[in-house]
Amino acid sequence: MTYAFLILAAFTPVFLWLKYLQERVGPITPAAPMALAFLAGTLISLPALLIQSFLDHSPNVSFAWLQGLTLVELVTFDGLYGYVFVRAFVFGGLVEEGLKLLTILGVLLCFRAKVRPAALIVIAVAVGGAFAAVENILVTAGTLNWGRIAMLRALVSVPNHVFLGVIMGFFLVLSWKGRWRYAMACCAFAVPALLHGSSNYLLYLGEPELHAPGALEATARQLYGVLFLALGVGAILVLSWAARWDGVAAEQFARPRSFARRRAFWAPISLILGVFGLLNLLVIIAGPGASLFAFNVGSTFLIGALSLLYAVVIWGHAHHRAPASRIAQSA
């Protein structure tokens, strides 16, 4: 039963994100590349963990040179959190984003003739989302508070990988053709890796287990929240650009049946998330004495607030109609 819940909590958000992306960008990705991208994303999670473990425990690998750099010493407070920096930027940013980029390029080589440029965004999200789902299962299984951790990772980790996938796919689209294609290809790896490392670093600094000073811990959590929201806004802007650039999403939104089906699918999900978020916040208000389970106030508040935020966004997406100008252009 536990593993069934973990699998459901890990993969359900990924499928919902992919459906949302297909509706925002348009039906531009064939089924075969999507299936291969999703399968490959699930398969690279375990190698990523093995590589990270090897880099962390091998006596022949040292990152002292990285921790000794002036800029790194500055952001790690004279090297006090040097290992945290390496764990965030090397193990998380370089290893995970590098494997995901290689996987996307492998899918592209297999289906280059069938994939349109804007489809790279959806393929990148499929790889990143599948990777995050399996990673969540591997990390959460066997932990003490597995239920709360699974929900938090479903609301934070999966969207984070999705946002990074959108950004990586955006730079891959720009590298498809154009004057700066090689620079954009480098950015397809460098930008997500730096953003991933930065978000991980702030997340680690905000963990109570690190025993960082109270002001530093609170500031790191706030900066992580700002970065998370900035990634989400950036991903939305990229998707809006991709929809206009490809010219498919407007045609899809112009069909009344499509809008009706979209509203029938997303409205109940929005209500479920909204009720779930309110219940979490009500548990905090009622206090631990009124709850049947032990809970952490900070985690419960975060789960409730994020659930309500996603509910509002999904409700807006479910009831959004394309402007008349877009419908006329697609006719």
Pair (103, 199) in one structural domain: yes
Pair (233, 205) in one structural domain: yes
Long-range contacts of 231-234 (CB under 8 A, 24+ apart): 231/160, 231/163, 231/164, 231/167, 231/195, 231/199, 232/159, 232/163, 234/163, 234/166, 234/167
How far, in Å, are 70, 125, 318 from residue 67 at the CA level? 8, 32, 48
Pair (35, 169) in one structural domain: yes
Position 26 scores a pLDDT of: 63
Torsion angle of C-alpha atoms 271, 272, 276, 278, degrees rounded to 10: 10
∠ CA 77-83-88, rounded to 5°: 95
Distance CA(265)–CA(243), nearest Å, equals 21
What's the domain count of the chain?
Answer: 2
Q: For residue 32, which of 118, 113, 99 has the smallest C-alpha distance?
A: 113
Both structure tokens of 11: 């993969």
Pair (159, 286) in one structural domain: no
Pair (201, 315) in one structural domain: no
Pair (100, 128) in one structural domain: yes
Sequence-distant (≥ 6) Cβ neighbours of residue 47 within 8 angstroms? 99
86: part of which helix (H) or strand (E)? Answer: helix 82-86
∠ CA 131-132-138, rounded to 5°: 90
Query: Where among 228, 247, 266 does a domain terminate?
Result: 247
Pair (237, 280) in one structural domain: no
Pair (166, 235) in one structural domain: yes
Pair (306, 183) in one structural domain: no
Query: Where among 247, 263, 291 does a domain terminate?
Result: 247
Secondary structure of residue 87 in the 3-state scheme: helix
∠ CA 164-170-173, rounded to 5°: 145
Distance CA(72)–CA(7), nearest Å, equals 38
Mind listing the pLDDT tens digit of every residue in the chain (331 residues)?
A: 667 778 888 898 899 888 888 777 666 667 888 889 999 999 998 899 999 999 988 888 888 888 888 999 999 988 889 999 999 999 999 999 999 999 999 998 888 777 777 788 889 999 999 999 998 888 887 777 777 788 888 888 899 999 999 999 999 988 887 678 889 999 999 999 999 999 999 999 988 778 788 788 888 888 988 998 899 888 888 877 776 665 544 444 344 446 667 677 777 888 887 887 787 777 667 655 444 344 456 667 777 787 888 888 777 777 665 543 343 343 3
Position 311 scores a pLDDT of: 82
Both structure tokens of 76: 């790690």
Residue where the block lists tokens 């252009």: 329
Query: Where among 247, 267, 302 does a domain terminate?
Result: 247
State the residue range of the domain holding 175. 2-247
Sequence-distant (≥ 6) Cβ neighbours of residue 282 within 8 angstroms? none
Pair (291, 228) in one structural domain: no
Pair (28, 152) in one structural domain: yes
Pair (110, 173) in one structural domain: yes
Q: What is the pTM of this model?
A: 0.84
